[in-house]
C-alpha cells in the first residue's frame, strides 16, 4: 500500500487550505479505532474531513459522511466537547520536512488560537493529538507511556513535543548539482536506497516515480549511472522541490497507485477524491480478505461436522430398517416353537409368505421364547430409534441446506471489486452471528446494514434483473420487493441466489429475456462450473417461506423449468464489467 509521504501531505494541506478554510466544526464522529471524521461547514459547502492513524493507511483527506451508527469512542467525545462549534482557521506544518500538521481552532477567524489538533502521519507511529493553547496534551488517539518509548512519550497533561528530528539532509533548491551528486555516489548502492538514506522527505513510491520520470530504474546502482542519467534525475529532483515550494501539484492515478506530481500516465481527478478512494479501497480489500477467510474457515468446519452428524443419523436409520426383520424372526420362532432344540445357535424356518428358508441366529443359553422376546425388544428399540433420529436428521439437513446456501454466496464474492462487495460480506457475517454460527463479543454486528446493493443487469429487451448477494438480500428481493408482474428464478434443488426479472404491468417477457435471466441464475449458483443447470421460474405469489425457516430458504409451486447455461451467464457478467470500467 502506497503511504502518504511528505509530498502527498503537503499537497493535501495546500488543497484543504484553498478549499476548506475557514470552516466551522459541526460534528465529530469516530468510525473505528483508527478513523475519525470532522464535520466541517464553510459559507458555500459542508463536508467531512477524515483523520486516519492506521499504521498502513494513515492519511488526511475529505471523505464520506459517517454511517448512522452511534459513536461510543471516548476520544471523539472529548474532541466534540472541546472543539464543537469552533472554527478551523489554519492547517500548518509544525516544522520543515516533518509529516505533522497543526489544525488550529479558534472562536472565529482572526481570534487567537485556542486548540491545536496535531495530525501525525508517520506510518506505525501515526497519531492524532489534541493540545490546548499552552501546548499541553489534553487527549490523544493513542497515548504512549515512557515504558513504551524512551524517546517521546505522549501523555495527558504533558507538553506536546515534536517527533525526534531526522539526521538526513534537507533537500534544497540551492544545493548545487555537484554536491547533490557527491552525496549519492559516495557509497555505491541502489539509487532508491541512496536517496532515502541521504535525504529526508522522500518515500519509496516517490523515488520510484521520480526515477521513472527520468527514464531510470530506481534499483539501478549509482556507480553505473551516466552523466546524462544524473542530469535527468537532477531535473526531476528540482521539479519536485519547485512543486513543494510553489504548492503546485498535479494529482492523478497511476497503474499501481496515485501521484500528486503528474509523473507518468494519469487520469485527472481531485486530490481529495483520489486519496479517499485509494485508501478506502485498500483498507476495504484488506478487511474483505480477512473477513472472507474467517467466514470460509468457519463454514468449512461447520459443514464438516454437520456432514459427519448427518452420516451418523443415516447409519442409525439404516439399522432401524432391520426392525421389521427382527419382528418377523420373532414371529417365526413363536410359530415353530416345536422345532427348537436346546443349545441351538441357529435355526432355519420357512417364511410365512414365500416358504423360503430363513436362517435365524440364536443365543444357545436361551430357549426359543426368550430368543423371540429378545427379537421383539430389538424391534421396539429400533422403532423408537427411528422416531427419535428422523427429526434430528431433518434438523441437521436443514442446517446443511442453509449453510450451503451461505457457502454459495461466499463463493460468488471471490474478490473485492467495490464497497458493495464488503457490504454484502458484512451482511453475511451479521446473519451468521444472528443465527448463532459466529461469535460477536463486542456486540457490533447484531443488526445488518440498512442499505441493500443487489446485483443489477438488463435483459435483451430492457427488463431489469436483480440478484441477491446473500440470504438477507434474497429474502428482501423475494418477499418484500417482488411485485405481482415479476418473475422469480432459482436453480432447481441447487443452492444459489434468488433472481428477479422485473416486468412492467402490461409487458411480456420474451423467450430471450427468460433465457438471459436463467443463465444468470445458473451462474450465480453452485452450478457455476457446469455446462447446464435446471432453473425454475414462477410468479412471486407462488413462492413461500416455511414457518421458522432460516434466511434465504424458500419453497415454490407452479414452476416452469428452463435450462440455464452458467458459462453464457458468465460472459454477460464479464461484458457488463468491461463496459462499466470504460
* CA proximity to 187, closest of 179, 198, 202, 176: 198
**Residue 186: how many other CB atoms lie within 10 Å:** 11
Q: What is the DSSP string of 379-439?
A: HHHHHHHHHHHHHHHHHHHHHHHHHHHHHHHHHH--S--SHHHHHHHHHHHHHHHHTTSS-
pLDDT digits (tens, 9 = 90+) for 66-76: 988 888 899 99
Average pLDDT of the chain to the nearest whole number: 90
Residues 345 and 360: their CA atoms lie apart, in Å, by 9
Q: What is the 3-state secondary structure (H, E, C) of 120-161?
A: ECCHHHCEEEEEECCCEEEEECCCECCCCCCCCCECCCCECC
> What pLDDT score does 284 carry?
92
- The CATH architecture one would assign to domain 6-140 is Roll (2.30)
CB atoms within 10 A of CB 111: 12
Residue ranges covered by each domain of the chain: 6-140, 177-269, 318-398, 455-581
What residues are paired with 466 via a beta bridge?
Answer: 456, 500
At 80-114, the pLDDT tens digits run 999 999 999 999 999 999 999 999 999 999 999 99
Q: What is the pLDDT of residues 320-351, one digit of tens each?
A: 767 778 788 888 889 888 888 888 888 888 88
Determine the straight-line distance between the first and last CA of the chain, rounded to whole angstroms.
25
Tell me what pLDDT residue 384 has. 80
Grid coordinates belonging to 428? 453475511
- The pLDDT tens digits of the residues spanning 19-42 come to 999 999 999 999 999 999 999 999
For 272-306, how does the pLDDT look when each residue is reduced to its tens digit (9 = 90+)? 999 999 999 999 999 999 999 999 999 999 999 99
Could you give the angle at the alpha carbon of 35 between the alpha carbons of 33 and 39, nearest 5°? Answer: 130
Q: Do 344 and 366 touch, CB atoms closer than 8 A? A: no
Instruction: Give the span between the Cα atoms of 448 and 201, in whole angstroms.
Output: 44
Q: What is the pLDDT of residue 265?
A: 64
Between 517 and 550, the higher pLDDT residue: 517
Percent of the chain scored above 90 by pLDDT?
64
CA gap 448, 434 in Å, rounded = 9
pLDDT for residue 448: 44
Write the pLDDT tens digit of every residue in 224-243: 999 999 999 999 999 999 99
pTM reported for the whole predicted model: 0.77
Per-residue pLDDT of 412-442, as tens digits, reads 898 898 888 998 999 999 889 988 888 876 5
Look up the CATH architecture of domain 177-269: Orthogonal Bundle (1.10)
Helices (H) and strands (E) in the chain, counts: 13, 21
Closest CA to 524 of 572, 580, 475: 572
Of 55, 63, 46, the C-alpha closest to 12 is: 63
Mean pLDDT of the region 446-463: 75
Helix axes 177-185, 227-246, angle to 10 degrees: 110
Q: Matching CATH topology for 6-140 and 177-269?
A: no
pLDDT (0 to 100) of residue 446: 45
Of the candidates 542, 545, 539, the residue with the CA atom closest to the CA atom of residue 556: 542
Sheet holding 464-467, edge to edge: 455-458, 464-467, 499-501, 487-491, 533-538, 560-564
Phi, psi (degrees; rounded to nearest 5) at 501: -100, 110
DSSP string spanning 353-385? TT--EEEEE--TTS-HHHHHHHHHHHHHHHHHH
Number of residues that this document lists for the chain: 582
Q: Could you give the CA distance from residue 529 to residue 65 in angstroms, rounded to a whole number? A: 40
Q: Cα angle at 126 between 257 and 123, to 5 degrees? A: 40
Backbone angles phi, psi at 102, to 5 degrees: -110, 110
**Bridge partners of residue 349, in order along the sequence:** 358
Of 159, 161, 124, 116, whose CA–CA distance to 142 is shortest?
A: 124
- Would you tell me how many other CB atoms lie within 10 Å of the CB of residue 219? 11
Say which residue, 443 or 291, is predicted with more confidence.
291
Contact 207, 5 (CB under 8 A): no
Q: How far is CA 353 from CA 147, 328, 331, 350, 358, in A?
A: 91, 11, 13, 9, 12
Going by the DSSP 8-state scheme, the letter that residue 221 receives in this structure is: B
Q: CA 30, CA 40: separation in Å to the nearest integer? A: 15
The single-letter DSSP state of residue 542 is G
Amino acid at each position: 500500500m502506497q503511504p502518504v509521504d511528505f509530498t502527498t501531505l503537503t499537497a493535501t494541506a495546500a488543497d484543504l487550505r484553498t478549499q476548506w478554510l475557514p470552516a466551522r466544526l459541526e460534528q465529530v464522529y469516530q468510525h473505528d479505532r483508527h478513523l475519525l471524521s470532522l464535520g466541517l461547514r464553510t459559507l458555500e459547502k459542508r463536508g467531512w474531513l477524515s483523520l486516519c492513524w492506521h499504521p498502513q493507511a494513515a492519511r488526511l483527506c475529505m471523505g464520506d459522511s459517517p454511517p448512522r451508527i452511534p459513536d461510543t469512542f471516548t476520544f471523539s467525545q472529548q474532541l466534540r466537547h472541546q472543539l464543537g462549534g469552533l472554527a478551523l482557521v489554519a492547517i500548518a506544518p509544525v516544522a520543515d520536512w516533518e509529516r505533522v500538521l497543526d489544525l488550529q481552532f479558534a472562536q472565529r477567524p482572526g481570534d487567537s488560537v485556542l486548540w491545536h489538533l496535531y495530525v501525525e502521519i508517520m506510518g506505525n507511529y501515526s497519531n492524532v493529538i489534541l493540545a490546548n493553547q499552552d501546548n499541553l496534551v489534553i487527549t490523544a488517539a493513542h497515548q504512549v507511556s515512557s515504558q513504551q518509548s524512551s524517546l517521546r512519550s505522549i501523555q495527558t497533561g504533558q507538553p506536546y513535543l515534536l517527533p525526534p528530528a531526522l539526521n538526513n539532509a534537507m533537500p534544497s533548491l540551492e544545493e548545487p548539482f555537484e554536491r547533490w551528486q557527491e552525496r549519492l555516489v559516495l557509497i555505491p548502492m541502489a539509487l532508491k536506497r541512496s536517496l532515502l538514506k541521504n535525504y529526508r522527505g522522500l518515500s519509496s513510491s516517490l523515488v520510484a516515480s521520480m526515477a521513472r520520470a527520468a527514464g531510470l530504474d530506481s534499483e539501478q546502482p549509482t556507480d553505473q549511472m551516466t552523466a546524462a542519467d544524473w542530469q535527468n534525475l537532477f531535473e526531476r529532483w528540482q521539479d519536485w522541490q519547485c512543486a513543494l515550494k510553489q504548492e503546485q501539484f498535479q494529482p492523478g492515478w497511476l497503474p499501481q497507485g496515485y501521484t500528486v506530481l503528474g509523473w507518468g500516465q494519469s487520469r485527472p481527478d481531485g486530490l481529495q477524491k483520489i486519496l479517499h478512494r485509494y485508501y478506502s479501497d485498500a483498507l476495504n480489500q484488506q478487511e474483505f480478505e480477512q473477513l472472507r477467510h474467517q467466514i470460509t474457515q468457519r463454514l468449512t468446519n461447520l459443514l464438516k461436522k454437520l456432514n459427519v452428524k448427518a452420516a451418523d443419523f443415516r447409519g442409525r436409520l439404516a439399522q432401524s430398517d432391520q426392525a421389521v426383520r427382527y419382528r418377523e424372526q420373532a414371529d417365526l420362532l413363536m410359530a415353530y416353537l416345536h422345532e427348537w432344540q436346546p443349545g441351538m445357535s441357529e435355526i432355519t424356518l420357512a417364511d410365512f409368505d414365500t416358504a423360503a428358508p430363513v436362517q435365524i441366529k440364536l443365543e444357545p443359553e436361551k430357549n426359543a421364547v426368550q430368543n423371540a422376546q429378545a427379537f421383539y425388544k430389538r424391534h421396539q428399540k429400533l422403532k423408537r430409534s427411528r422416531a427419535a433420529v428422523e427429526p434430528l436428521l431433518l434438523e441437521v439437513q436443514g442446517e446443511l441446506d442453509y449453510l450451503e446456501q451461505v457457502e454459495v454466496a461466499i463463493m460468488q464474492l471471490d474478490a473485492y471489486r467495490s464497497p458493495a462487495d464488503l457490504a454484502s460480506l458484512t451482511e453475511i457475517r451479521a446473519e451468521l452471528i444472528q443465527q448463532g454460527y459466529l461469535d460477536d463479543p463486542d456486540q457490533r454486528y447484531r443488526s445488518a446494514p440498512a442499505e441493500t446493493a443487489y446485483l443489477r443487469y438488463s435483459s435483451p429487451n430492457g427488463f431489469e434483473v436483480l440478484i441477491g448477494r446473500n440470504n438477507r438480500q434474497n429474502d428482501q428481493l423475494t418477499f418484500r420487493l417482488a411485485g405481482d408482474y415479476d418473475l422469480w428464478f432459482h436453480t432447481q434443488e441447487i443452492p444459489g441466489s434468488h433472481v428477479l426479472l422485473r416486468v412492467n404491468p402490461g409487458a411480456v417477457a420474451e423467450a430471450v429475456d427468460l433465457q438471459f435471466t436463467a443463465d444468470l441464475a445458473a451462474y450465480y449458483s453452485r452450478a457455476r462450473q457446469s455446462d447446464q443447470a435446471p432453473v425454475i421460474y414462477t410468479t412471486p405469489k407462488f413462492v413461500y417461506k416455511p414457518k421458522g425457516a432460516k434466511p434465504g430458504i424458500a419453497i415454490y409451486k407452479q414452476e416452469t423449468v428452463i435450462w440455464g447455461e452458467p458459462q453464457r451467464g458468465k460472459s454477460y457478467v464479464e461484458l457488463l464489467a468491461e463496459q462499466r470500467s470504460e
